[in-house]
C-alpha cells in the first residue's frame, strides 16, 4: 500500500531534526520536497530543500490542480505539496515523509486518510520552545515573539493528529518516532 508520514509542529519543536533522523534511520522513507514562493534562506538549495518558484508559477499550478494541498501563508507567500512529487516517491517504492506546518499536516491527513500517519511534535512547554528559538540565533526578537504566539495557537490542533510526541528528550523522541513509523509501515 502507498503510505505517507506527516510531521507537523510549531517552529522550534525539533520537527526538522526528527524528520532528518527518520530519513537516516528508516531507508524506506523518501522526503517530499514542497513548493514555495519565498526566497531561499541560508544554505537552502532549489529542488533539495524546496522547489522555489514565483507566485505566478504557483498560481498556474493551482489552476492545473497540481497540488495535494497548498496554502497562502501571507500575500504571495505560498507553500504546497505537488501531486507529482508524491507519485514520483511512490513509483520508487518508498514511503513519503512530509515536514509541513500544522495546517498543511491537517490537510494532508484529510487527503490521504488511512494511507497517512500524522505525527505532531510538541515542545515540553512554550517557555522551552521560546528558549530554543532564541538559542537558534536565526530570528530577531519580534519574529520570535510572533512564532511563540503562533505556536500557542498551533498546539491547540495537536489532537487532530494520529500521534503526539513530546520532544523533551531528543534521543527518546527519536526512538519513539522510529517505533511509530516502523509499526505503521509494516502494517
Q: Residue 93 is part of a domain; what is its CATH number?
A: 3.40.50.300
Helix, strand, or coil (residue 86): helix
* pLDDT tens per residue across span 49-86: 899 999 999 999 999 999 999 998 888 999 999 999 99
Mean pLDDT of the 170-175 span: 96
**Position 119 pLDDT exceeds 80:** yes
Q: How far apart are CA 86 and CA 103, in angstroms?
A: 18
pLDDT computed for residue 105 by the predictor: 94
Report phi then psi at 88, rounded to 5: -60, -45
* pLDDT tens per residue across span 19-56: 999 999 999 999 999 999 998 988 899 999 899 999 99
pTM metric for this prediction: 0.89
Mean pLDDT of the 132-160 span: 88
31-35, 123-127, 132-136, 179-183: least confident range:
132-136
pLDDT computed for residue 167 by the predictor: 93
**Position 135 pLDDT exceeds 90:** no
**Position 96 pLDDT exceeds 80:** yes
Torsion of Cα atoms, 39 then 44 then 48 then 53, to 10°: 10
Torsion of Cα atoms, 164 then 170 then 176 then 182, to 10°: 110
Among candidate residues 70, 56, 129, 128, the one with its CA nearest the CA of residue 100:
70
Mean pLDDT of the 93-112 span: 94
Count of domains forming the chain = 1
Give the pLDDT band (50/70/90) at residue 129. Answer: confident
- Output the CA–CA distances (angstroms, integers) from residue 122 to 1, 10, 73, 134, in the order listed: 29, 7, 21, 17
Residue that the C-alpha cell 522510529 belongs to? 178
Domain of 77?
Answer: 4-186
**Position 134 pLDDT exceeds 90:** no
According to DSSP, residue 39 is labeled: P
Amino acid at each position: 500500500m502507498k503510505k505517507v508520514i506527516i510531521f507537523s509542529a510549531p517552529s522550534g519543536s525539533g520537527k526538522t531534526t526528527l524528520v532528518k533522523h527518520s530519513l537516516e534511520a528508516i531507508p524506506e522513507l523518501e522526503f517530499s520536497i514542497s513548493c514555495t514562493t519565498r526566497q531561499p534562506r541560508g544554505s537552502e538549495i532549489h529542488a533539495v530543500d524546496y522547489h522555489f518558484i514565483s507566485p505566478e508559477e504557483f498560481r498556474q499550478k493551482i489552476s492545473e490542480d497540481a497540488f495535494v494541498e497548498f496554502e497562502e501563508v501571507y500575500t504571495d507567500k505560498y507553500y504546497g505539496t505537488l501531486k507529482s512529487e508524491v507519485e514520483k516517491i511512490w513509483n520508487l517504492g518508498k514511503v513519503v515523509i512530509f515536514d509541513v506546518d500544522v495546517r498543511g499536516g491537517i490537510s494532508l491527513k484529510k487527503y490521504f486518510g488511512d494511507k497517512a500517519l500524522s505525527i505532531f511534535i510538541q515542545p515540553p512547554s512554550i517557555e522551552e520552545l521560546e528558549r530554543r528559538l532564541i538559542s537558534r540565533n536565526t530570528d530577531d526578537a519580534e519574529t520570535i515573539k510572533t512564532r511563540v504566539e503562533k505556536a500557542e495557537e498551533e498546539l491547540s490542533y495537536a489532537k487532530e493528529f494520529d500521534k503526539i510526541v513530546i520532544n523533551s528528550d531528543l534521543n527518546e523522541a527519536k526512538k519513539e518516532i522510529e517505533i511509530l513509523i516502523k509499526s505503521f509501515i509494516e502494517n
